[in-house]
């Protein structure tokens, strides 16, 4: 912000600080309209600040592909999934896991929550996990079962796996926003968090009414994603959102819930499917900035996710 302070007037700079904008990159998590609202600056001022911020961010940033540092990743604890994702879930942007009910999305997230606590040498981040559950009941029995398996497997590490997962039930959009604005930032000040899971994002937008206000819903998406991205970048954690599926009556195709507005907000999209009358599942990369479209097989056992031999 010191460089930006030299480029704008003292009045404008003070308005930015009051709006809790503490670095040039903070501008690009908001739309121009949102910036005008939170800073109380006019359109011309915002344009000037955006231009100067972009120049500061881009100055000296041109690098070769080899010079760009690799994103940290959290191992899925399944060699097949790790192989096609280059090591697991990236600590970068928002990852979405979608699929039919009962296919294994929550199982994946629970195992990822345990893997996050392992040292980096074993594919983890050696950090805690925040699990925001929007469904009826959190699967505590399954977590205890997996936690016991991990405790026995990694007994020499002395990790109390269940003690490092902070669970909160989220009932609606307003509660999620309050959590991201108040509860989560306070927790991040005292705990090192490596993963935030929202299971599921569709759960809080579920509506029995067909009269959906899509404009307001899109604004809610932007608000939630902006908060998550800012916190994730500041504190260095991965974000995984579980999504449900719906049948599109127009195309007769099964697709993720929440439509195109939500799809444009996420960085990674992964699909989990289960073959009919089979225990085996398929994990597919739908889109990602650094991964090609690939699939792999896995199964779910009492000990967790395993590669299909």
DSSP sequence for 215-253: HHHHHHHHHHHHHHHHHHHHHT-EEEEEE-EEEETTTTE
Q: Establish if 275 belongs to a structural domain.
A: yes
Shared domain for 78 and 35, answered yes or no, is no
Record the tokens describing residue 173, joined without a space: 């959009």
CA 304 to each of CA 107, 143, 169, 205, 300: distance values in angstroms, whole numbers, following the listed order: 7, 10, 24, 29, 5
Same domain, 139 and 197: yes
**Per-residue pLDDT at 208:** 46
CA distance 151 to 147: 6
Does 154 reside within a domain? yes
What is the DSSP pairing of strand 238-243 with strand 193-199?
Answer: parallel
The domain spanning residue 52 has which CATH number? 1.10.150
Which CATH number belongs to the domain containing residue 189 in this structure?
A: 3.40.50.300
Residues 16 and 118 grouped into a single domain? no
Residue pLDDT tens, the chain, 309 long: 777 788 888 888 888 888 878 777 777 777 788 888 888 888 888 888 888 888 887 776 666 666 667 889 999 999 999 999 999 999 999 999 999 999 999 999 999 999 999 999 999 999 999 999 998 789 999 999 999 999 999 999 999 999 999 999 999 999 999 999 999 999 999 999 999 999 989 988 875 455 778 788 899 999 999 999 999 999 999 999 999 998 877 777 889 999 899 999 999 999 999 987 678 999 999 999 999 999 999 999 999 999 987
Encoding tokens for residue 121? 């040498």
Q: Tell me whether residue 25 is in a domain.
A: yes
Same-domain pairing of 105 and 7: no
Domain identity same for 157 and 80: yes
Domain, as residue range, for 143: 73-307
Residue 66 lies in a domain: no
Residues 88 and 35 in one domain: no
Same domain, 294 and 186: yes
Is residue 299 assigned to a domain?
Answer: yes
Q: Is there a domain that residue 64 lies in? A: no
Does 43 share its domain with 170?
no
pTM of the entire structure? 0.79
First to last CA, the chain: 53
Same domain, 78 and 51: no
246 touches 205 (CB < 8 A): no
In a domain, 112, yes or no: yes
| Residues 153 and 54 both lie in one domain | no
| One domain for residues 194 and 220 | yes
The tally of domains found in the chain comes to 2
What is the Cα–Cα distance from 193 to 196, expressed in whole angstroms? 8
In whole angstroms, what is the distance from residue 27 CA to residue 52 CA? 11
- Report if residue 135 sits inside a domain: yes
Q: List residues bridging with 97 in a β-sheet.
A: 242, 270
Same domain, 39 and 176: no
Scanning the structure block, which residue is given the tokens 């998590």?
A: 29
- Report the pLDDT value the prediction gives residue 161, as an integer from 0 to 100: 96
SS percent in the chain: helix, strand, coil, step 5 = 45, 20, 35
Rama region for 75: left / alpha / beta (φ>0; ψ in -120 to 50; rest) = beta
Let me know: does 47 contact 35? Beta carbons within 8 Å. no
């Amino acid at each position: 912000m010191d460089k930006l302070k030299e480029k704008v007037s003292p009045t404008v700079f003070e308005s930015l600080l009051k709006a809790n904008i503490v670095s040039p990159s903070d501008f690009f998590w908001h739309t121009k309209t949102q910036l005008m609202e939170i800073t109380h600056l006019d359109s011309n001022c915002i344009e000037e600040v955006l231009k100067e911020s972009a120049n500061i961010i881009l100055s000296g940033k041109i690098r070769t592909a080899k010079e760009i540092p690799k994103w940290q990743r959290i191992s899925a604890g399944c060699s097949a999934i790790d192989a096609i994702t280059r090591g697991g879930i990236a600590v970068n942007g928002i990852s979405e896991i979608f699929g039919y009910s009962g296919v294994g999305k929550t199982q994946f997230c629970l195992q990822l929550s345990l893997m996050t606590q392992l040292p980096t040498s074993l594919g983890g981040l050696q950090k805690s996990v925040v699990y925001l559950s929007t469904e009826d009941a959190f699967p505590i029995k399954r977590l205890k079962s997996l936690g016991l398996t991990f405790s026995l497997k990694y007994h020499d590490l002395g990790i109390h796996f269940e003690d490092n997962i902070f669970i909160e039930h989220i009932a609606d959009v307003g509660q999620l926003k309050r959590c991201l604005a108040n509860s989560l930032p306070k927790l991040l000040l005292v705990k090192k968090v490596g993963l935030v899971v929202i299971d599921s994002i569709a759960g809080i937008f579920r509506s029995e009414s067909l009269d959906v206000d899509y404009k307001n819903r899109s604004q809610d998406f932007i608000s939630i994603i902006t908060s998550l991205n800012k916190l994730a970048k500041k504190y260095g954690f991965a974000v995984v959102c579980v999504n449900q599926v719906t049948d599109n009556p127009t195309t007769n195709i099964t697709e993720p819930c929440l439509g195109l507005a939500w799809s444009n907000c996420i960085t990674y999209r992964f699909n989990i499917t289960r073959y009919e009358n089979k225990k085996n599942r398929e994990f597919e990369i739908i889109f990602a900035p650094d991964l090609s479209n690939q699939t792999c097989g896995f199964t779910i056992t009492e000990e967790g996710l395993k590669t299909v031999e």
